[in-house]
């Protein structure tokens, strides 16, 4: 299996200033890896002409295919055309066809083509035009230093369409069969990243196929396996071998497998089971409800979410006995259970789930430090509750980790 290296180049001041996040590169990389290309680098560069020219030259000297996005607009700061011409040592030429298309694009919207947009029809002499049927800026393809450079618009919708309609077919034709990459993800909760890393260290050398990595987000660990092979079936089989080893290491900590987010997974399970749910949230402030509300079809089961921050609201909305709050405090397994029972009773849901905790930075005590979170669970009238002592990694962490805990409980207990 031949190896062909590819790189992505994202161009734009908004990216290097941190005002916008480069999502184009991730999309392109996934598509190219599925074609069998090996991704070696992402570069993000400002609109500064020399920086763009250098970045193009460097990427083209290292990779066989370079896909650049951005800087094709009609304004002064859009300089990718000139930078690519400079990198190749050629001039810009006016492409009458492209200008006709731009003029027609505007005419179709009932406006005169602004003279300013003419610059978008100036392309490097040696470049081949890539028609943009989704916007004004044409893209282009050209050879620089033996590499094939594609320059696409920065607007994600235009980029995606041009990539799938024009670039990928061209790469398939030009590079033939490079094999393909299969991805597999396993999600674990409750295991330390270092411990897992030690257990599967033998799968993780950097030059190994499959490529295996671990990422952690709010306590949820993801093991990502990317396996390259000649056919998708072979690639999947290769990935599956490593997945089996990860499963063995993970044991009961394995939560689920696949690329879905945990909230999506939990929401789908509720829908599948027809399990009506009411939430009672304190420290998460509606985060669990908001995440589940992102799942299509959740209205069939999610009946209500109470955000009961103050003790008074817990008493009024969830019928938590005031005496319970006085005796144990709002962050207690007793109150968590009572909140879950109250939410289920008030709505008639089969399942009530409650979260109450100390997200910090203040409010902690020696007995209940920041990160203490109690969870209530009431299924068909049977109440349970449990407590977690989360590390104090900030308010956001405590709230996100608590939301994950609720989703994990749904996945494990239903």
Locate all alpha helices (DSSP H) within 47-166, ordered by sequence: 49-62, 80-88, 96-107, 156-162
Among the listed residues 123, 147, 29, the one whose alpha carbon sits nearest the alpha carbon of residue 71: 123
- Residue among 6, 85, 155, 406 that touches ligand ATP (CB under 6 A): 155
- Note whether 304 and 352 are within 8 A (CB): no
Q: Which stretch binds ligand ATP (CB under 6 A): 19-27, 257-265, 295-303, 329-337?
A: 19-27
DSSP characters for 125-159?
A: TTPEEE--TTSS--EEEEEETTEEEEEE-SSHHHH
The binder of ligand ATP chosen from 7, 33, 78, 281 (CB under 6 A) = 78
Is 70 a residue that touches Mg ion (CB under 5 A)?
yes
* The one among 8, 9, 12, 188 contacting Mg ion by CB under 5 A: 12
Contacts with 371 (C-beta within 8 Å, 6 or more apart), sequence order: 357, 358, 360, 364, 388, 389, 390, 391, 392, 393, 398
Binding of residue 41 to ligand ATP (CB under 6 A)? no
Stretch that binds Mg ion, among 51-59, 70-78, 185-193, 398-406 (CB under 5 A): 70-78
Report the C-alpha gap between 361 and 379 in whole angstroms.
Answer: 33
Q: Does 135 bind Mg ion (CB under 5 A)?
A: no
Half-sphere exposure at residue 360, Cβ-oriented, CA atoms within 13 angstroms? 18
Stretch that binds ligand ATP, among 65-73, 224-232, 320-328, 372-380 (CB under 6 A): 65-73
Q: Does 124 contact ligand ATP by CB under 6 A?
A: no
Q: Which does 156 bind (CB under 5 to 8 A by kind): ligand ATP, Mg ion, none?
A: ligand ATP
Nearer residue to Mg ion within complex by CB, 70 or 371: 70
> Which residue among 89, 114, 156, 294 contacts ligand ATP (CB under 6 A)?
156
Interaction of residue 20 with ligand ATP, rule CB under 6 A: yes
- A 10 A CB-CB count for 384 gives 15
Residues 368, 222: Cα–Cα separation, whole Å: 30
End-to-end CA distance of the chain: 45
Q: Which residues bind ligand ATP (CB under 6 A)?
A: 10, 12, 14-15, 20, 22-24, 69-73, 78, 137, 153-156, 158
Q: Which residues bind Mg ion (CB under 5 A)?
A: 12, 70, 154
């Amino acid at each position: 299996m031949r190896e062909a290296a590819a790189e992505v180049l994202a161009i734009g001041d908004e990216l290097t200033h941190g005002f916008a996040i480069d999502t184009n590169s991730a999309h392109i990389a996934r598509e190219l890896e599925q074609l069998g290309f090996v991704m070696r680098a992402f570069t993000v560069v400002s609109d500064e002409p020399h920086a763009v020219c250098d970045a193009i030259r460097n990427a083209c000297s290292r990779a066989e295919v370079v896909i650049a996005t951005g800087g094709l607009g009609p304004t002064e700061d859009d300089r990718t055309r000139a930078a690519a011409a400079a990198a190749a040592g050629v001039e810009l030429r006016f492409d009458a066809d492209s200008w006709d298309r731009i003029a027609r694009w505007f005419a179709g919207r009932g406006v005169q083509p602004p003279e300013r947009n003419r610059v978008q029809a100036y392309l490097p002499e040696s470049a081949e035009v890539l028609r943009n049927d989704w916007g004004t800026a044409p893209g282009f393809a050209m050879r620089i230093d033996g590499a094939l450079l594609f320059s696409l618009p920065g607007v994600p919708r235009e980029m995606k369409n041009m990539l799938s309609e024009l670039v990928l077919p061209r790469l398939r034709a030009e590079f033939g069969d490079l094999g393909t990459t299969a991805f597999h993800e396993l999600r674990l909760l409750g295991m330390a990243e270092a411990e897992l890393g030690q257990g599967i260290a033998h799968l993780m050398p950097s030059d190994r196929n499959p490529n295996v990595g671990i990422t952690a987000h709010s306590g949820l660990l993801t093991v990502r396996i990317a396996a390259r092979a000649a056919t998708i079936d072979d690639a999947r089989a290769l990935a599956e071998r490593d997945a089996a080893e990860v499963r063995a290491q993970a044991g009961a900590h394995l939560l689920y497998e696949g690329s879905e987010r945990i909230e999506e997974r939990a929401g789908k399970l509720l829908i599948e089971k027809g399990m009506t749910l009411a939430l009672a949230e304190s420290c998460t402030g509606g985060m669990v409800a908001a995440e589940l509300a992102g799942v299509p079809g959740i209205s069939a089961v999610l009946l209500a979410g109470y955000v009961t921050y103050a003790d008074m609201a817990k008493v009024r909305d969830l019928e938590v006995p005031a005496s319970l709050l006085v005796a144990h405090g709002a962050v207690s397994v007793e109150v968590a259970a009572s909140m879950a029972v109250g939410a289920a009773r008030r709505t008639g849901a089969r399942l009530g789930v409650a979260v109450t905790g100390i997200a910090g930075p203040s409010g902690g005590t020696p007995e209940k430090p920041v990160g203490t979170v109690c969870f209530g669970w009431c299924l068909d009238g049977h109440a349970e509750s449990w407590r977690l002592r989360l590390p104090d990694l900030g308010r956001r962490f405590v709230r996100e980790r608590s939301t994950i805990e609720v989703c994990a409980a749904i996945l494990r207990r239903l």
